[in-house]
Structure 1
Amino acid sequence: MTATAQRTAHEDSRSEDSRYEAVRSRDARFDGAFFFAVRTTGIYCRPSCPAITPKRHNVRFFATAAAAQGSGFRACRRCRPDAVPGSAEWNVRADLVGRAMRLIGDGVVDREGVTGLAGRLGYSARQVQRQLTAELGAGPVALARAQRAHTARVLLQTTGLPVTEIAFAAGFASVRQFNDTIRAVYAATPSDVRAAAPAADRAAARTATPSAGVPLRLAHRGPYQAGPVFDLLQREAVAGIEEVAGPPGRRRYRRTLRLPHGTGIVAVEEHRETRGGSGGGWLDARLHLTDLRDLTTSVQRLRRLFDLDADPYAVDERLGADPRLAPLVAARPGLRSPGTADPAELALRSLAGHAAAERLVERYGEALDAPCGTLTHLFPEPAVLAEAEPDGPVGALAAALADGTVRLDPGADRDDAERALLAVPGMDARTAAVVRTRALGDPDTAPPDPTVPDSWRPWRSYAVNHLRAAGDWEQDR
Structure 2
Amino acid sequence: MDHHLENLSVESCRKARLSKDPRFDGQFFVGVITTGIFCRPICPAVSPQEKNVRYFDSAIRAVNAGLRPCLRCRPDSAPDSFAWKGTQTTIERALRLIDAGVMSGDNGLSIEALSERLGIGSRYLRQLFNKHLGTSPKQYAQFRQLMFAKQLLHQTDLPVVQVGLAAGYTSIRRFNEVFKDTLQLTPTELRKKRSNTQPLAVNDNGSGRGLSLSLQLSYRPPLNWSHLSEFYQLRMVDGMEWLNDLSYGRTFQLGSAKGFFEAVHHPEKNRFKVTIHLSDTQDIVQLKDIVMQIRRLLDLDADMNKIQSSLASISLISNQIKEGLRLPGTWSAFEAGCRAILGQQVSVTQATKLLNCMVKANGEELSLSGRTLRMFPTPDKLAKANLDELKMPGARKAAINAFSLYVATNPDADLDEWLTIKGIGPWTVAYAKMRGLSDPNILLCTDLIVKKKVLKMYELDRLSVDAAETGKPVNYGALTESLRQQATPWGSYLTFQLWNLT
TM range, smaller chain: 0.7 to 0.9
Residues 135 and 245 of structure 1, relative CA distance in 2, 3 Å threshold: closer
1:202-249 deviation digits (Å, cap 9, x = unpaired): 3x54xx422272111111002211111111112212234x22243xx3
Contact (CA 8 Å) 2:156, 2:215: kept in 1 or not?
no
Following superposition, the deviation at residue 14 of structure 1 comes to 8.5
Match of 2:261 among 250, 266, 278: 266
Partner of 1:414: none
Following superposition, the deviation at residue 261 of structure 1 comes to 4.5
Is it true that 1:292 corresponds to 2:290 in the alignment? no
Partner of 2:423: 426
Following superposition, the deviation at residue 284 of structure 1 comes to 1.7
Partner of 1:368: 366
Match of 2:335 among 340, 345, 355: 345
Partner of 1:407: 413
Partner of 1:70: 64
Residues 403 and 167 of structure 1, relative CA distance in 2, 3 Å threshold: same
What is the SS of the residue equivalent to 1:253?
A: strand
Alignment of 1:121-140 (within 5 A): 121-123=118-120, 125=122, 127-140=124-137
1:319-351 deviation digits (Å, cap 9, x = unpaired): 34556545543xx42221222222222222221
Deviates more, 1:79-88 or 1:423-432: 423-432
Partner of 2:148: 151
Following superposition, the deviation at residue 386 of structure 1 comes to 3.1
What is the SS of the residue equivalent to 2:309?
A: helix
Partner of 1:312: 304
Is it true that 1:237 corresponds to 2:236 in the alignment? yes
Distance in structure 2 (CA, Å) of the matches to 1:386 and 1:117: 32
Residues 114 and 90 of structure 1, relative CA distance in 2, 3 Å threshold: farther
Distance in structure 2 (CA, Å) of the matches to 1:185 and 1:94: 28
1:285-305 deviation digits (Å, cap 9, x = unpaired): 100123111221111101111
Distance in structure 2 (CA, Å) of the matches to 1:261 and 1:43: 39
Q: Which amino acid aligns with 1:402?
A: A
Distance in structure 1 (CA, Å) of the matches to 2:342 and 2:142: 40
Distance in structure 1 (CA, Å) of the matches to 2:53 and 2:180: 23
Q: What runs of 5+ residues in structure 1 fail to find an aligned partner? A: 1-8, 409-416, 473-477
Following superposition, the deviation at residue 74 of structure 1 comes to 1.2
Distance in structure 2 (CA, Å) of the matches to 1:190 and 1:430: 48
Q: Which amino acid aligns with 1:259?
A: L
Distance in structure 1 (CA, Å) of the matches to 2:338 and 2:248: 21
Query: What is the TM-score when the length of structure 1 is the normalising length?
Result: 0.80
Following superposition, the deviation at residue 308 of structure 1 comes to 0.6
Residues 261 and 406 of structure 1, relative CA distance in 2, 3 Å threshold: closer
Distance in structure 1 (CA, Å) of the matches to 2:79 and 2:256: 25
Residues 114 and 72 of structure 1, relative CA distance in 2, 3 Å threshold: farther
Q: Which amino acid aligns with 1:468?
A: W
Query: What is the TM-score when the length of structure 2 is the normalising length?
Result: 0.76
1:239-273 deviation digits (Å, cap 9, x = unpaired): 34x22243xx33x32211112342121011245xx
Residues 199 and 88 of structure 1, relative CA distance in 2, 3 Å threshold: same
Following superposition, the deviation at residue 166 of structure 1 comes to 2.2
Partner of 2:76: 82
Distance in structure 2 (CA, Å) of the matches to 1:163 and 1:405: 33
Following superposition, the deviation at residue 457 of structure 1 comes to 3.8
Alignment of 1:12-411 (within 5 A): 19=13, 22-23=16-17, 26-49=20-43, 50-55=45-50, 60-87=54-81, 92-93=86-87, 95-110=89-104, 112-115=107-110, 117-123=114-120, 125=122, 127-202=124-199, 204-205=200-201, 208-211=202-205, 213-240=212-239, 242-246=240-244, 249-250=245-246, 252-270=247-265, 274-276=267-269, 281-289=270-278, 290=280, 291-322=283-314, 325-329=317-321, 332-353=322-343, 354-368=352-366, 370=368, 373-377=371-375, 379-388=376-385, 392-404=398-410, 407=413
Contact (CA 8 Å) 1:70, 1:142: kept in 2 or not?
no
Contact (CA 8 Å) 1:261, 1:293: kept in 2 or not?
no
What is the SS of the residue equivalent to 1:210?
A: coil
Following superposition, the deviation at residue 395 of structure 1 comes to 2.4
Contact (CA 8 Å) 1:307, 1:336: kept in 2 or not?
yes
Residues 199 and 12 of structure 1, relative CA distance in 2, 3 Å threshold: closer
Residues 177 and 63 of structure 1, relative CA distance in 2, 3 Å threshold: farther
Partner of 1:465: 496
Q: Which amino acid aligns with 2:31?
A: A
Distance in structure 1 (CA, Å) of the matches to 2:217 and 2:103: 22
Following superposition, the deviation at residue 109 of structure 1 comes to 2.2
Residues 319 and 123 of structure 1, relative CA distance in 2, 3 Å threshold: closer
Distance in structure 1 (CA, Å) of the matches to 2:488 and 2:8: 26
Contact (CA 8 Å) 2:265, 2:271: kept in 1 or not?
no
RMSD (CA atoms) = 3.3
Following superposition, the deviation at residue 317 of structure 1 comes to 1.9
Contact (CA 8 Å) 2:442, 2:495: kept in 1 or not?
no
Distance in structure 2 (CA, Å) of the matches to 1:347 and 1:89: 31
Q: Which structure exhibits the higher relative contact order, with contacts defined as CA atoms closer than 8 Å and separated by 6 or more residues?
A: 1
What is the SS of the residue equivalent to 1:309?
A: coil
Contact (CA 8 Å) 1:129, 1:140: kept in 2 or not?
yes
Distance in structure 2 (CA, Å) of the matches to 1:406 and 1:145: 25
Q: Which amino acid aligns with 1:257?
A: F
Distance in structure 2 (CA, Å) of the matches to 1:198 and 1:14: 31
What is the SS of the residue equivalent to 1:339?
A: coil
Residues 382 and 14 of structure 1, relative CA distance in 2, 3 Å threshold: closer
Partner of 1:4: none
Contact (CA 8 Å) 1:429, 1:448: kept in 2 or not?
no
Structure 1 or 2, whichever has the larger Rg, is 2
Contact (CA 8 Å) 2:277, 2:369: kept in 1 or not?
no
1:88-131 deviation digits (Å, cap 9, x = unpaired): 65752352101111222222322552336445423455543443
Residues 401 and 89 of structure 1, relative CA distance in 2, 3 Å threshold: farther
Partner of 2:461: none
Contact (CA 8 Å) 1:151, 1:295: kept in 2 or not?
no
